[in-house]
Amino acid sequence: MAYLNRYDEAPADLKPYRQKDGALLAIGTLCDKLKQTDPYKSELERMLVQHVFPEFSSRVGHLRAKVEYSGSLFYLLVFLLLIY
């Protein structure tokens, strides 16, 4: 989470895009573990809303692609959150 917080706090011209890309890859890779393990499970929605979904509108193409990958792994979770 430290990488993600640093990314959010940095000015647009100094954002560490490569680190955010790596963090999104890690989130996608660890998707099953994050959905099943406490304390990650309870914080998953907040993390997705705060750090993952905003990158759908990123001006950096590779981040939009990575968030598509990461977000697609959580689609059922997001869908269920919207229903309930």
Higher pLDDT, 76 or 30: 30
Q: Judge whether residue 74 has pLDDT over 80.
A: no
C-alpha to C-alpha distance for 9 and 32, rounded to whole angstroms: 28
Contact status, residue 61 vs residue 18, Cβ threshold 8 Å: no
What pLDDT is attached to residue 61?
93
| pLDDT tens digit sequence for 6-34 | 889 999 889 999 999 999 999 888 888 88
How far is 9 from 79, CA to CA, in rounded Å?
29
Q: Report the chain's C-alpha Rg in angstroms.
A: 13
Is the confidence at residue 81, as pLDDT, over 60? no
Domain boundaries, the chain: 19-83
- Per-residue pLDDT for 1 more than 80? no
**Tally: H helices and E strands in the chain:** 6, 0
pLDDT of residue 82: 54
